[in-house]
Structures are given as structure tokens and as C-alpha cells.
């Protein structure tokens, strides 16, 4: 008898599995894919270059708790991601900052002038509701058209005016010359890659892992007390209220017989191509190799569910499913797909760490708790 059946071996499932296992619980982790790691899964391609199967994953967080927790299972390689956008025949930094404006428009603004410059371009919008409002109200129409409108249309097949403000609000506008994509306190990549990190996370003897298995194939034949579900929430309920929209992507990989393919880790193509961005993995991983591998991202409607689509009608539909989840005291829903939230990796890790504390508190009340005070295992550098 397992204490927990955990559906999904991505960050949401693997973190809660590790925490529960350390607290003395027997857990079974199932994933329908043929590997662990969820969307962060990485592997060596035929040229011997470490690539991310489901698109580039760059780790960044402001949470010391999350960074320290994951640091028990991996060494870190410091890495600050930089992105250029292909606009008007130039490659300019995104997020838009002072360097972007000067390069794009041939200006010589300094840090004291940039705010007034952007204010003179920005549109007055009293209530910021949509992704269009966010951008127009900070940088105005021209930059909106050049950097955001086409990219967003490609990525989501929606106009920015049809998406929640939170989507384009992920990309700040800076008044300084900081070209980094993220400014989080902790920015680093797992030194041996994500899959190795997951091998460590799932290496506890109380954890069994079963891949190539949809949980619906085994849930009636395996004895377990409670479930943690990290797959798409609508699938759990057999789409009883209809399908929640998730956006998918086709990833096209190419290996080139050259050491360096492009100027920086990622180049965004807001307008002129059917793909949104091209990422060269060696920048992210620090690997040395005479060849180089890149991935092109072509957004599409059908396929693996990668992105929840943040807009009011989808939030409404999710709320109906969420009400159903609340009626199931023995099933916990966590992660990007199960809670229909556009979360980064660190947010998913934090969500599962919080869920673990909640479960332990509940078990303490009902007198079931194992040893939740067990220390974290220390990293031994070996895969399982
Ligand atoms: P997932 O990783 O999706 O794991 C869920 C698992 O559940 C999957 O392995 C799936 O196979 C399994 N599953 C689903 N249904 C079933 C079933 N019925 N039975 C058994 N198993 C099932 N975040 C960042 O912080 N930085 C980035 O740079 C970044 N880049 C990204 C780029 C792309 C293209 C995408 C799509 C996402 C990116 N993210 C990034 C987000 C990151 O991938 C997620 O936050 C994180 O992987 C979510 O973890 P999860 O465990 O919730 O979901
Ligand atoms: N975005 C854009 N142009 C860009 C970069 C981002 O319009 O050059 C918008 C687009 O809507 C995108 C969102 O901002 O989906 C979030 O971008 P991010 O890079 O965070 O996307 P992710 O890495 O999650 O795919």
C-alpha cells in the first residue's frame, strides 16, 4: 500500500514526492511520458550536446528557500540570461531598456532622460486590464507594435487585448542599461542539467517511479491512500465542463557544425518569422563543444499542454473545475497544469513545498504525521 500516488514527475510532483518520502511516506510517482523531469527534461542529443526537450528552461528565483532546497540536489552554475529581439533589421536588447531605445532609434538618451521620453510615448489608460494596456501605457504604440503585438499573436494566437495583463507584464521596461532578461537574486542552472537534478530528487528509497504510465491505467489496480495530481485539471475530471485551453509548441532542433550560432542565448523574432524565438543551448549550459545545437519554437494549438492561457473566460472555466477539486479531500492538485497557472519553475517548487507543509499540518491534526522534522538530505553529486 502506498501512502501517496503522485501523478507527474515534473517539479510539482517530484518535489512533493521527495518531501513526503523524507517524512516516512511511501510514494509512487507515475508519469505518462518515458522520462522524469516533466517539461524541464534535458538529454544529450546525437552530437553530444545537452538540450532541453521541451524548450529552453532558465532557472531564476527570488526565493532563498526554493534555491537552497534545490541546491540539496544539484550544484549550480551561475548563468544570467540575455535576449536580443530582431526588430527593424537590428538585434536589440529585450526587456526594453535605455540601450534598446538608443540603438533602435539612434538616440543618445541618458538614464535621467529615459523616463520622460517613454512618458511622452506612453498612452494614458486608466484601468490596466489586458496585455495590450500594459505595454501601451508604459512604452506606447510603436514599441508595442515592434516588440509585443506580433510575438504575442504568434505565441497565443490571440491579440494582446484578449489576454490578461499578467502575460506581457512578465517583461519589464527598464530605465537603466540592464540587458539581463531576469533580475532575480538567484540566477543559475543545474550544473549537470535538470534530469540529473530529478534523479537526485527522486532517489529516496521510499519513492518508486513508473514512467510510460497514465495514472488512469493503474489507479484501480494499485492500493494508495491519497493522490497528488499535477496533470491537466480538466483531464482529471474527464473534461466534464469542456476543455481548458492550453497552448502548445512545436520544437525544432538543429545542430550546426560551428562553435557559435548566434550572439546570445536567445533571439526573439517578434515579427518576421513563424517561430517566436531561437535558443542556443551552450550559452545556458556552459558546455564546450565544437558543434552547437539550437531550438526553434513554433507555437500551435494542438499538442502537449504547455501554457495555460490567462484570460477571463478561461479563469472562469478553471474556477468550475477548482470547485470540483475542493470536494475531493484525498486528492491534492498542484503545479502549472493542475492549478492552471502560468507559473515558472520556482513558483511550482514553492507551491509544492507549501502543499507539503499543509499536508503535514493536516496529518498532525488527524494524528497521522510521519517525521516531518527530518533534515534535508545533502547532495552527494551522484545520480540514482
Ligand atoms: P510539468 O513539468 O508539465 O509536469 C507534469 C507532468 O505530469 C508531465 O511530465 C506529464 O507527462 C505528467 N502527466 C500529465 N498527465 C498525466 C497523466 N494522466 N498520467 C501520468 N502523468 C501525467 N520556467 C522557468 O522558471 N524558466 C524558464 O525558462 C521556463 N521556460 C519554459 C519554456 C517552455 C517552452 C515551457 C513550456 C515552460 C517553461 N517554464 C519555464 C515553465 C516550467 O516548465 C514549469 O513551471 C514547470 O515545468 C512546471 O512543472 P509541473 O510539474 O507543474 O508540470
Ligand atoms: N513577449 C513579447 N515579445 C517578446 C517577449 C515576450 O510580446 O519579445 C510577450 C509574449 O506575449 C510572451 C510574454 O510576453 O508570451 C511572456 O514572455 P516570456 O519570455 O516570459 O515567455 P515564456 O518564456 O514563458 O514563453
pLDDT at 378 > cutoff 70: no
What is the predicted pLDDT for the residue at 309?
Answer: 98
The Å distance, Cα 348 to ligand 1 centre, comes to 9
What is the predicted pLDDT for the residue at 383?
Answer: 36
Question: How many CB atoms are closer than 10 A to CB 64?
Answer: 11
Grid coordinates given for 198 = 530529478
What is the predicted pLDDT for the residue at 381?
Answer: 41
CA of 235, closest atom in ligand 1: 18
Question: How many CB atoms are closer than 10 A to CB 35?
Answer: 15
Ligand 2 is surrounded, with C-beta below 6 A, by 85, 94, 147-148, 151-152, 155, 167-168, 170-171, 268, 270
Mean pLDDT for the stretch of residues 118-146: 98
What is the predicted pLDDT for the residue at 366?
Answer: 82
- Write the residue with the smallest CA distance to atom 20 of ligand 2: 170
pLDDT at 251 > cutoff 70: yes
Residue with cell 503545479: 335
The Å distance, Cα 320 to ligand 1 centre, comes to 22
Look over the chain and give the mean of its residue pLDDT values, rounded to a whole number. Answer: 95
Report CA-CA distances (Å) from 2 to 73, 226, 280, 310, 378: 24, 8, 42, 36, 25
How many residues are recorded in the chain? 384
What is the predicted pLDDT for the residue at 370?
Answer: 58
DSSP code string of 284-332:
HH----SSEEEEEEEEESSSS--EE--SHHHHHHHHHHHHHHHT-TTEE
pLDDT at 80 > cutoff 50: yes
pLDDT at 374 > cutoff 70: no
Mean pLDDT for the stretch of residues 105-120: 97
Report CA-CA distances (Å) from 146 to 85, 100, 135, 227: 9, 12, 11, 46
Report which of 129, 208, 111, 209 is spatially closest to residue 166, judged by C-alpha positions.
Answer: 129
pLDDT in tens, 292-351: 999 999 999 999 999 999 999 999 999 999 999 999 999 999 999 999 999 999 999 999
Mean pLDDT for the stretch of residues 240-257: 98
Mean pLDDT for the stretch of residues 194-205: 98
Tell me the pLDDT band of 367, cut-offs 50, 70 and 90. Answer: confident
Amino acid at each position: 500500500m502506498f501512502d501517496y500516488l503522485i501523478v507527474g514527475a515534473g517539479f510539482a510532483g517530484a518535489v512533493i514526492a521527495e518531501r513526503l518520502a523524507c517524512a516516512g511516506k511511501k510514494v509512487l510517482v507515475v508519469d505518462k511520458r518515458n522520462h522524469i523531469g516533466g517539461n524541464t527534461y534535458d538529454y544529450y542529443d546525437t552530437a553530444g550536446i545537452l538540450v532541453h526537450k521541451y524548450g529552453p528552461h532558465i532557472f531564476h528565483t527570488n526565493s532563498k528557500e526554493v534555491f537552497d532546497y534545490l541546491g540539496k540536489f544539484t550544484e549550480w552554475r551561475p548563468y544570467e540570461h540575455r535576449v536580443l529581439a530582431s526588430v527593424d533589421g537590428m538585434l536589440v536588447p529585450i526587456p526594453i531598456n535605455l540601450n534598446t531605445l538608443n540603438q533602435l532609434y539612434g538616440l543618445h538618451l541618458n538614464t535621467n532622460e529615459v523616463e520622460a521620453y517613454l512618458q511622452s510615448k506612453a498612452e494614458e489608460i486608466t484601468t490596466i486590464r489586458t496585455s495590450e494596456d500594459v505595454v501601451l501605457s508604459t512604452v506606447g504604440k510603436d514599441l508595442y507594435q515592434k516588440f509585443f503585438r506580433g510575438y504575442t499573436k504568434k505565441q497565443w494566437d490571440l491579440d494582446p487585448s484578449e489576454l490578461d495583463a499578467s502575460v506581457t507584464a512578465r517583461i519589464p521596461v527598464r530605465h537603466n542599461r540592464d540587458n539581463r532578461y531576469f533580475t532575480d537574486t538567484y540566477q543559475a542552472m543545474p550544473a549537470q542539467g535538470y534530469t540529473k537534478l530529478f534523479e537526485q530528487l527522486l532517489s529516496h528509497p521510499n519513492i518508486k517511479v513508473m514512467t510510460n504510465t497514465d495514472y488512469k491505467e493503474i489507479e484501480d489496480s494499485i492500493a494508495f491512500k491519497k493522490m497528488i495530481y499535477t496533470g491537466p485539471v480538466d483531464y482529471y475530471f474527464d473534461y466534464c465542463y469542456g476543455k481548458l485551453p492550453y497552448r502548445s509548441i512545436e520544437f525544432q532542433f538543429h545542430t550546426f557544425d560551428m562553435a557559435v550560432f548566434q550572439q546570445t542565448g536567445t533571439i526573439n523574432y517578434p515579427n518576421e518569422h513563424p517561430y517566436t524565438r531561437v535558443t542556443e543551448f551552450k550559452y545556458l549550459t556552459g558546455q564546450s563543444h565544437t558543434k552547437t545545437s539550437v531550438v526553434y519554437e513554433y507555437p500551435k494549438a494542438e499538442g502537449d499542454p504547455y501554457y495555460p492561457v490567462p484570460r477571463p473566460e478561461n479563469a472562469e472555466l478553471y474556477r468550475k473545475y477548482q470547485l470540483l477539486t475542493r470536494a475531493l479531500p484525498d486528492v491534492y492538485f498542484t503545479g502549472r497544469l493542475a492549478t492552471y497557472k502560468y507559473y515558472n519553475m520556482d513558483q511550482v517548487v514553492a507551491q509544492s513545498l507549501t502543499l507539503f507543509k499543509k499536508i503535514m499540518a493536516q496529518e498532525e491534526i488527524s494524528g497521522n504525521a510521519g517525521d516531518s522534522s527530518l533534515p534535508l538530505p545533502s547532495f552527494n553529486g551522484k545520480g540514482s
